[in-house]
Amino acid sequence: MKKVIEASTAVALGVKLCEPGVIPMYPITPQTHIVERLADYINDGLLSSEMIHVESEHSAISAALGAEAMGVRTFTATASQGLALMHEILFVVAGMRLPVVMAVANRALSAPINIWNDHQDSISERDSGWIQLYVESAQEALDTIIQAYKIAENRKVLLPVMVCLDGFTLSHVYEPVDILKQEDVNKFLPQYNPLFKLDPKKPITMGPIGFPNTYMEFRKQTHDTMLDSINIIKDVNNQFKESFNRSYGNGLIETYKIEDANYAIAAMGTACSTTRVVVDELRKQGKKVGLIKIKSFRPFPKQEIISCCKNIKGIAVIDRNISLGNEGALYTELRSAFYNQNKKPIIKGFIAGLGGRDITPDHIKTAFKKIENSSDTEWLL
Amino acid sequence: MEKTIAGISTEEFFASGHRACAGCGVALAARHALKAAGKNTIVVTATSCLEVFSTPYPETSWRVPWIHGAFENAAAIASGIDRALKTLGKRKDTNLLVFGGDGGTFDIGLQALSGAAERDQNFCYVCLDNAAYMNTGIQRSGATPKYASTTTSPAGKIIHGKTEFKKPMPFIMAAHGAYVATANITFPLDFINKVKKGLAFDGPAYIQVYVPCPTGWKFANNLTIDIAKLAFETKITPLYEIEKGILTISRKPAKEIPVKEYLKLQGRFKHVTDDEIRDIQQHVNNEWKRLLELEKNKSRVC
């Protein structure tokens, strides 16, 4: 059944279908609609989760840590400064292998203070050990929340997942969304059965001190698991397709008209929707161009990207973030992925859409022109 | 509640063999608090000496489920556990005990603790007060007493140690409506009974236990209990409870002993002048008088 709903509501409905036991919540624009809807469901008796009205995002993620350590499915949501405030505990949650799922309504970081969209908040947490999935539509937001729990709680993963949706540009946009049936979601996502939990019947110590003789092994295990999660993310995407007849590329990347393309635009989030329109326009002009949407930024799907670029001469990378003093993060990662390949496309980075500035079709077209016209030697006349 | 020491469990839930310094007051308090809480307990510990010396991976001293996340968030982690217990239907039959040092409680953890108390979350928070950041090497905290020398409030030629009195943490927690008690490792029965009371309280409980630190306070490590006892006898650390805002003094010293007797045993006070000792004595006298009045009037402390 399709309904026209706000993407934030789609996230909240996705969470409701997963029935988390505990939801710590703290307001921050543009995430707030998500927790407001969840509070509605709980106070109307439609969802039996325990709300915790924490006094900060730092406590939101800490309370999620505590509840998840009890073996209880947990959800929270944040954005921007809130995610930055969580920074310290994000690493702890991942290091303790607690499969918390969190929505991030992507927003710029201060200063100057700015409540509008870019990806700087979550990109700045890329090394935290959280799986990061960027979505493009309200439907994908709902579906990805459900997939996120299945990925996170897989015993071969046990890592937290961030579901990132563009603040306002997606979070506040109304779209037709197919709302899944509870019984179907229950079949797809079984009840959480934790491997370890705090239980007086079987006492364990969680979060001990790791000295130099053990710390690196913990870090390597988490890294290896993150890499292995590539296959689990693909599996979950396939299972979702079998259950609900809908999927998003291979779960890690999604391509559009890439098969015969010579050039590609790589992007994340809602900029991909704009790019699809531009690809169609350019195709009409005879340009062989396609889209590579990077859905999973962590783990970074190097092989999947390389495989779909066999005939690609050039890639224009749209970054809604900037590592000040260097370049956009997606650009860095994409170029690094190709470094050891014999055949490398030309790759150019474009910074766009920071602090809520629209990424327009003209921006994408300009990026395409620059990559199409670039050559090894350029004249400075 | 136990009337004599004979009633205290002989079972140990905090195993020996940990790496605390000889004479550590924290280790003793943790052991006694666990005797009060028993087997059916979940423990949260803030980053602290306690967390470091009790869990060098793969070893652990904890015979009950135990979790550590970070420094300032023990009360927030406990909040998540509290509500998870509720959602699992295990809230009534599980004790939730939280340990934080004075730095992790008075300073960096205050926001999370205040939030949890305001939400009426159900756990017993035990602040292990050794009056400085001992884990990082004896730095000044909001719990450090005036004139005490620490590595960040040294006894210099111009400035003699810490320049402020201790933050009135028990009263801050009482203002939140918590069950509040102060305790001292010299009186284990009193401490254990207060922890039991705190765990049984329907809502937040805050117990501040005085745990001398031979390393940080610079005294011989066989004097821990003597120092703690003197802190009580000189009224540096009075023992009281605040229930529903009403204060009761748990035990009063039998005779008047000047604070100098307590100060002179500790290296952290060896620089203090007679004037400074008078200032400390005056402060102690005023605080004690205030407690007596509060007890006598039976009026809400806040």
Q: For chain B, which residues lie within 8 Å of any Cβ of chain A, measuring from their own Cβ?
A: 39-42, 44, 51-52, 55-58, 60, 62-70, 72-73, 75-88, 94, 111-112, 114-116, 118-119
Residue B260 has pLDDT above 90, yes or no: yes
| Average pLDDT estimate for B227-243 | 98
pLDDT at position A376 is: 64
pLDDT at position B299 is: 85
| Average pLDDT estimate for B4-27 | 95
pLDDT band for B206, please (50, 70, 90 cuts): very high
pLDDT digits (tens, 9 = 90+) for B49-63: 999 999 999 999 999
Q: In the structure encoding, which two tokens stand for residue B134, read together?
A: 């001992």
What DSSP string runs through A269-315? TTHHHHHHHHHHHHHHTT--EEEEEE-EEES--HHHHHHTTTT-SEE
Q: Identify whether the C-beta of residue B133 lies closer than 8 Å to the C-beta of residue B139.
A: yes
**Right CATH for B9-297 from 3.40.140.10, 3.40.50.2300, 3.40.50.970, 3.40.640.10:** 3.40.50.970
Q: CA separation (Å) from A289 to A121, A277, A301, A318? A: 30, 12, 21, 15
pLDDT at position B1 is: 83
CB contact under 8 A, A49 and B87: yes
Instruction: Give the residue from chain B lying closest to A201, CA to CA.
Output: B40
What DSSP string runs through B113-150? HHHHHHTT---EEEEEE-SSBTTTTSB--TTSPTT---
Interface predicted TM-score (ipTM): 0.97
Place of tokens 């009075």: B238
Using a cut of 0.90, tell me whether the model's pTM lies above it: yes
Categorise residue B113: left if φ over 0, alpha if ψ from -120 to 50, beta otherwise: alpha
pLDDT at position A230 is: 98
User: What phi and psi values does residue A134 have, to the nearest 5 degrees?
Assistant: -100, 130
Mean pLDDT, consecutive 10-residue stretches, chain A (381 aa), reads: 96 98 98 98 98 98 98 98 98 98 98 98 98 98 98 98 98 98 98 97 98 98 98 98 98 98 98 98 98 98 97 96 97 97 95 97 96 78 75
pLDDT digits (tens, 9 = 90+) for B62-73: 999 999 999 999
pLDDT at position A374 is: 82
On chain B, the residues whose CB falls within 8 A of the CB of A66 are: 44, 67, 69, 76-82, 84
At a CB cut-off of 8 Å and minimum separation 6, what does A296 contact?
A131, A132, A133, A134, A230, A233, A251, A252, A253
Residue among B67, B72, B95 with most chain A CBs within 10 A, to mutate:
B67
Domains with residue ranges and CATH for chain A:
2-244 (3.40.50.970), 253-372 (3.40.50.920)
State CA A37 to chain mean position distance: 21
User: What phi and psi values does residue B163 have, to the nearest 5 degrees?
Assistant: -105, 0
On chain B, the residues whose CB falls within 8 A of the CB of A54 are: 76, 79, 115, 119
Strand order in the sheet with A253-256: A253-256, A289-294, A263-267, A314-319, A346-351
Q: Alpha-carbon distance B55 to B53, whole Å?
A: 6
CB contact under 8 A, A50 and B84: yes
CB contact under 8 A, A66 and B69: yes
Instruction: Give the residue from chain A lying closest to B79, CA to CA.
Output: A63
pLDDT at position A378 is: 67
